[in-house]
Structure 1
Amino acid sequence: MDQIRSLYANVKDNLLLDPSHGNKENKNSQNVANGKQHSTHQQERKRSPGRGQQQSKAKQKHEADKKQPFRPKHRDLEAALKAVIVSDLRAHLWAVNENFKQNHLMALKAITSFLNENLRVDVADPTFSNKSLSYPYDVLPQDLKELIDDTITNAGDQNVQYFYDLTLSNLTGDMNKNLPHLGHSVLLQAMAISNPQICVNNLARNAILRNSFQNRSNIGLSLLWALGQGGFHDPSVGLKVWQDIMVPVIELKTYSKYVYEYVHKILHQNPSAKLDISSSDFLTILSSLTTQNKSNRDLSVLLEDASKLLVERYVLSAPKTSSTFTTLFKNIQFIAKPELIYFGLILCLTEDPECWTAWRGLYKKNIQQTTDLLSFIESTSSKSASKLLGDRLFHQFLDDIQHINTELGESRKKIDGLKGSVAVLQQVQDKVASKKSKAAKSAKSSRTGATTVCCSFLLATFLLFGLTGGLIGFDTYRAGGKFENSHTGQLLKQAGLLPTVQDAWTCSLKYSARGFKWAEEHVPVYYEKTKTTVGPYVEFSIDFSKILWNGAKKGFGNVKLLVEQKTPVVVEFVEKYAPGLPKKIGDFACSTWTTVSTFTVNTYNQSCEFFKTKVFVGQLSPESLGKAFNSTQQAAAQYYSWFHEQVDFYAKAK
């Protein structure tokens, strides 16, 4: 079937490229109309056999020229693309559509042939490694790009798939014959961008094609480049191409660099796109990434980064994370680098709380795997593991595992890995406790530090304003109570700022007085409204607090009753194994209580006597303190009266 299709395509190519095809019927009609002239030409041809030999030689020369290596017309591919005359291509397509109506394959073939003829450029790197990922598609002239995209869209998926596979074969064939081939590359890339899935629909056939030309590195790399274009727009497609087409040649020196870089690029490209691969494909690809011979350090770093990124994107793309957790957990031993699986498991635990339930269900049959994972969590310093150590669900899981270990330890059956699990569990719990302690200290110190800074700032502000006000007040007092005669007033007067400062001070007093009068009038009203609105909630809070208090008292009473009931039993039990110990404890408690009570009473009496005889005498006597309090009360009343007079005065000022 492939041979028939190729023959069909070659026949159509000859029809397209033969300039005399459109005029063949006209020439035949002219020869029939002029019979004599036609017979004369035949007689001349018979008389001069050398003319036929000349035509045969010309035809052979034309075929020889066709087989000769093409000569580049442009310095690079971008210059050649800019030189493409799109109007000529449109006219060529119009002629093709007139001769082959509704034949989209012929239209695609015509574009490819046209571009092959116009893009005669020497390309040293068939993978365009120093260019963008979408090169040369992204540098196509806009009208040419639109024409190609429209033709591909109109062709339909089935025709595009057939033409894609055919173009891959033509690409390798033309490169093998050293014929112009860049038109094939442009069309292959455009079709892969339009529908990335076409790159993986015939992987078995394409693998055979790769095997045929893998010893020709330029052809093989061009084939890998063409098949890998869909992966830059759909990473799932790229991973399948990488595994089935590229991994078999990854050990070959001419291919390894491109294969390593390709998988790294497709995983970094489109980070929001989800991976649509099965768990078996994922494990196969991850195994390929972790088992390669990493002789080159730079390339090995690419593979390590790609492996971690693959695990992360697979976990985040999973429709049900708990199922992914189970799959990864059961396949730890099948991956050369289990740290990558541990990373994926930790990511699952932080993403979905159901994973804790899944892990708890897997524990009894996978004790060693759990021990290894807990040991990794305890020893690693990654952000995800640190986040896990502070997770409440992780602490609960550790308690559950400890309880299960206790049950398993009490059973007579020997369980492999149980001792190691208990030891590692204790280490993890110690680290969790240490982390909690450090977090509490850090939080306390941060709160204390923030409070200290805030209080220091407020205190410094009040001291500054107070000191400034005191100095200005003292300066005004020395000047006889007139601010303009003080040193501060004279300085402001010389600077021309005294009227402005006085106006600002008067204005501030005026608006402050009005604000005080407004608050004095309206704050009680708003307070009553707030009290009415919030009152029921406050009452509910009080009632709820009473209920809690009553519950606490009831609980305390129950505990007290339980202690009273169990005390004789405990005393009897202790007396049985340690005769005389309860009596000694009781005597010690009574003597301790007597000593503490006596010390407290004596200390209180001595303190009272000290304050009576040493402190509250002289100026600190009750009589003196009473007089000072009365004087302070009178001064406060006078100040309050003066303050209201000032407020009324400035509130009425305009």
Structure 2
Amino acid sequence: MAAAGEWELVVKSSKKGKSATVPNGKLSKDEKKEFIQKAPRVTVTGGIERGVTGKENRKPKSSKAASAPKKKKTEKKTNSGPHQPGTVEEAICRLNVGEMQNLLDVVMSRFQESPLIWLKDLASYLNVRVNPIHQPDPAFRGHPTSFPASLLRSDVKMLLIKTLSTCNDNVLAAFHKHCLTSMVHEQVKGLGVAGYKVFIQILSIDHAHVGMVNLPYYCDLRNSIQNQTPACLSLLWAVGQSGLDDFTVGLKVWMELMVPLIGLKNYSAYVVDYGSTVFGGGGGGGAEDCGEVLGVREFFTILDFTWCSSGSLPKVVQRQLFALYPKVKTAAFSSSPEVTLRGFFPSFLRRLDPDASPQLKVELVTCLVQCLTQDPQCWSIWSQLYLKHLPQSAILLHHLGREWKILSQSLRVQRKEVKDTIQRFAESNAQMPRKARALAGVSEAKEATNTLLNQMKTVKGKSPLPRVMKLLGILFVTAIIWDIKSAGSFYGSNFGQTLERMGLIPYIEAFGRASKTAFIQSYKWCATNVPVYYSRGCELAGPYLLLVLKKLEGVTGYCMSAVESAAQYIPLMKEKVETSLPGLSTSVGHYGALAVESLEVTFFAIRNAFAPYFSQAHEFFTTRVFVGSLAPEKLKEYMIGAVDYLTQFLLRMHSNLVDVLQDTDSISNKTS
């Protein structure tokens, strides 16, 4: 017992069954060390490792005995034997098709009605054999999309494909889920999973649809391993193999499995890269049928992150995302825009906040104008949302007022309906109560509405009369040429006979002779006098031109010497400025870099704004205008024929003109 008011610590003594007391709770150094060794410890994985108790405490092992099991355990974990391949390429090249066939024969003979067991054993065999010392990147970044299955020999690949072809879709879907689950669990433990990835890639080549059967399960699995970056990247890569050759499948995988991770630093680069592959790869032709996958909610997820949250990404990934966004927008709008855009309009209008960035405002206004011009129903939707989103409507009205002369030509709705909608806006502004008139955006909306109404009064539709007159003139000239060519001569044509009946032939002939004589005389005058005047002009103005050139050369040399002399004083001036105003050069460089970056962002915004229109114009001209007789190859033939005909015509005209001049010279010589 301890004295009154004192604590007594009871510890085990060195002898069995006895204990020792330490007064005042103090331990010696050896006892403290022993206590710490026996205390429980928290491991790296979060578990609790108990201290060594029992006989092991009383009889410590020697250093050799303690190190032996650790060494054995390490060797078991690394499994780095002399015959283990070093890389994935070497491991895949070592696969033996004979061993794989023998394994299949044994398993098939034992489990004749269980093809799933065949596939599981074959996948386990592959994962054991394809286990290199140096594990590759989880998503094989830096390699082609067909890697690592492209390394398989043809006989091995044919065996795997033949085995998969004997199974139905239900078995393949269950096997796909087994491979992915086993791959993730083993990679979390630190084991190699390259064999599973090879089998998954082979399965995804000809059976891409089986990967979509368990997509909700893969999304839940992604959420559970989101903090395990290598395992999660392997999951994204494995499921993404199904969408490399099928645009709809790839878009579904990208939107549901990968886009939720786009804001995380460890996954953003791969997510954006996979989206670029899907939209720019082999399956991009199915963009018209992606309305069910890429809807309003999915599209605005991409828009919000691109324009509002992409600043946290690296610059390279940010540029890649801005380049990907127009493709996403084109795919979202391409499925019947005259019907689907009415679903996008309210979300665009709600995001057009006056405090938004200028680049985002430009993008939102561009999309809203596209909705109004291509889907007439958007005008009635706007009239219902006008008072709820008054500041946003004021910004859109201001833009319509500035660009109405151009936009009025591309409307698919009658102008009277548009004018009635804007007039209803003006009436709503006038009927607004006094208290509401102090709200934000009311005065701007009134001003923008009145400006747009004035623009509608001044801008009228173009008259079709000039176009009709041009068309009639072209048709008239074409008919005359065809008439003369079919008759063989001007006088034998219907047009020539009509002029003869009207008595206009003598006047036309007199006009032709006078024109011919005037042209011949002008040509002879130019041929005689132009060389004389040219030589005389060179004689008179040549010295002055040479003097001017010499003076310019002297001025240029003086400017260059001035620049060179100024360059010598630039370091001195820079040092003096830095001494008097420290930090000025750094500030100028910083703000210059900001200016260049803002110009770059503006350029990308302008390019992204005009990209949909360019793609639509290109598609329109290639599919509706330059087809048939106006195809590029036909136009090329027409151009070559026209050039040949013009060349022959000029040669004939030159020879006729030479003959006429020779005849006139001979006649003048005879008369003289």
Query: Partner residue of 1:582?
Result: none
TM-score normalised by length of structure 2: 0.50
Query: Partner residue of 1:421?
Result: 449
Q: Does 1:329 align with 2:342?
A: no
The Cα RMSD (Å) is 4.6
Q: Does 1:271 align with 2:281?
A: no
Q: Does 1:302 align with 2:320?
A: yes
TM-superposed CA distance for 1:265, in Å, is 2.4
Q: Does 1:104 align with 2:115?
A: yes
Q: Does 1:184 align with 2:200?
A: no
Deviations 1:277-320 (A, max 9, x none): 2433444454444443423222222222222211210121x2x4
Q: Does 1:405 align with 2:405?
A: no
| Residue from 357, 362, 380 that aligns with 1:361 | 380
- 2: CA distance, partners of 1:237 / 1:285: 18
Give runs of aligned pairs for residues 508-527 of structure 1, distance below 5 A: none
Q: Does 1:470 align with 2:660?
A: yes
- 2: CA distance, partners of 1:333 / 1:219: 41
Name the CA shift for 1:479/1:377 in 2 (closer, same or farther; >3 Å): same
Residue aligned with 1:155, SS: coil
Q: Which amino acid aligns with 2:78?
A: Q
Q: Does 1:261 align with 2:273?
A: yes
Q: How many correspondences in the alignment?
A: 401
Deviations 1:462-516 (A, max 9, x none): 7523322135546888999xxxxxxxxxxxxxxxxxxxxxxxxxxxxxxxxxxxx
Name the CA shift for 1:183/1:324 in 2 (closer, same or farther; >3 Å): same
Q: Which amino acid aligns with 2:112?
A: K
Q: Does the 8 A contact of 1:260 with 1:299 survive in 2?
A: yes
Q: Does the 8 A contact of 2:426 with 2:449 survive in 1?
A: no
Query: Partner residue of 2:297?
Result: 280
Q: Which amino acid aligns with 1:292?
A: S
Q: Which amino acid aligns with 1:102?
A: E
TM-score normalised by length of structure 1: 0.51
Name the CA shift for 1:100/1:250 in 2 (closer, same or farther; >3 Å): same
TM-superposed CA distance for 1:62, in Å, is 9.6
Give runs of aligned pairs for residues 189-338 of structure 1, distance below 5 A: 189-269=201-281, 270-273=283-286, 274-275=289-290, 276-277=292-293, 278-295=295-312, 296-316=314-334, 318=335, 320-335=336-351, 337=360
Unaligned runs of 5+ in 2: 1-68, 353-359, 434-441, 479-641
Q: Does the 8 A contact of 1:115 with 1:183 survive in 2?
A: yes
Deviations 1:120-175 (A, max 9, x none): 33244221221222322344333333332333333222222222222222112322
| Residue from 99, 103, 106 that aligns with 1:92 | 103
- 1: CA distance, partners of 2:646 / 2:241: 64
Q: Does the 8 A contact of 1:152 with 1:191 survive in 2?
A: yes
Q: Which amino acid aligns with 1:142?
A: S
Q: Which amino acid aligns with 1:279?
A: V
- 2: CA distance, partners of 1:184 / 1:81: 12
Deviations 1:33-58 (A, max 9, x none): xxxxxxxxxxxxxxxxxxxxxxxxxx
- Structure 1 range deviating more: 124-133 or 213-222: 213-222
Give runs of aligned pairs for residues 137-152 of structure 1, distance below 5 A: 137-152=149-164
- 2: CA distance, partners of 1:459 / 1:144: 70
Q: Does the 8 A contact of 1:189 with 1:226 survive in 2?
A: yes
- 2: CA distance, partners of 1:430 / 1:458: 52
Q: Which amino acid aligns with 1:115?
A: L
Name the CA shift for 1:224/1:406 in 2 (closer, same or farther; >3 Å): closer
Q: Does 1:114 align with 2:125?
A: yes
- 1: CA distance, partners of 2:351 / 2:211: 28
Unaligned runs of 5+ in 1: 1-58, 481-654
- 1: CA distance, partners of 2:265 / 2:184: 20
- 2: CA distance, partners of 1:126 / 1:379: 53
Q: Which amino acid aligns with 1:323?
A: V
Query: Partner residue of 2:178?
Result: 166
Q: Does the 8 A contact of 1:390 with 1:436 survive in 2?
A: no
TM-superposed CA distance for 1:419, in Å, is 4.0
- 1: CA distance, partners of 2:383 / 2:120: 64
Identity of aligned residues (%): 24
TM-superposed CA distance for 1:98, in Å, is 1.0
Q: Does the 8 A contact of 1:128 with 1:135 survive in 2?
A: yes
Q: Does the 8 A contact of 2:247 with 2:284 survive in 1?
A: no
TM-superposed CA distance for 1:404, in Å, is 4.1
Query: Partner residue of 1:46?
Result: none
- 2: CA distance, partners of 1:428 / 1:142: 70
- 2: CA distance, partners of 1:308 / 1:378: 26
Residue aligned with 1:305, SS: helix
Q: Does the 8 A contact of 2:372 with 2:378 survive in 1?
A: no
- 2: CA distance, partners of 1:124 / 1:379: 57
Q: Does the 8 A contact of 2:279 with 2:327 survive in 1?
A: yes
Q: Which amino acid aligns with 1:81?
A: I
- 2: CA distance, partners of 1:233 / 1:377: 42
Q: Does the 8 A contact of 1:199 with 1:241 survive in 2?
A: no
Q: Which amino acid aligns with 1:315?
A: F
Name the CA shift for 1:370/1:241 in 2 (closer, same or farther; >3 Å): same
- 2: CA distance, partners of 1:125 / 1:426: 63
Deviations 1:444-469 (A, max 9, x none): 9xx9xxx9x99999996675233221
Q: Which amino acid aligns with 1:361?
A: S
TM-superposed CA distance for 1:177, in Å, is 3.6
- 1: CA distance, partners of 2:405 / 2:199: 50
Q: Which amino acid aligns with 2:148?
A: P
- 2: CA distance, partners of 1:432 / 1:128: 60
Q: Which amino acid aligns with 2:451?
A: A
Residue aligned with 2:266, SS: helix
Q: Which amino acid aligns with 1:331?
A: S
Name the CA shift for 1:178/1:390 in 2 (closer, same or farther; >3 Å): same
Residue aligned with 1:125, SS: coil
TM-superposed CA distance for 1:236, in Å, is 4.3
Q: Does the 8 A contact of 1:286 with 1:335 survive in 2?
A: no
Residue aligned with 1:160, SS: helix
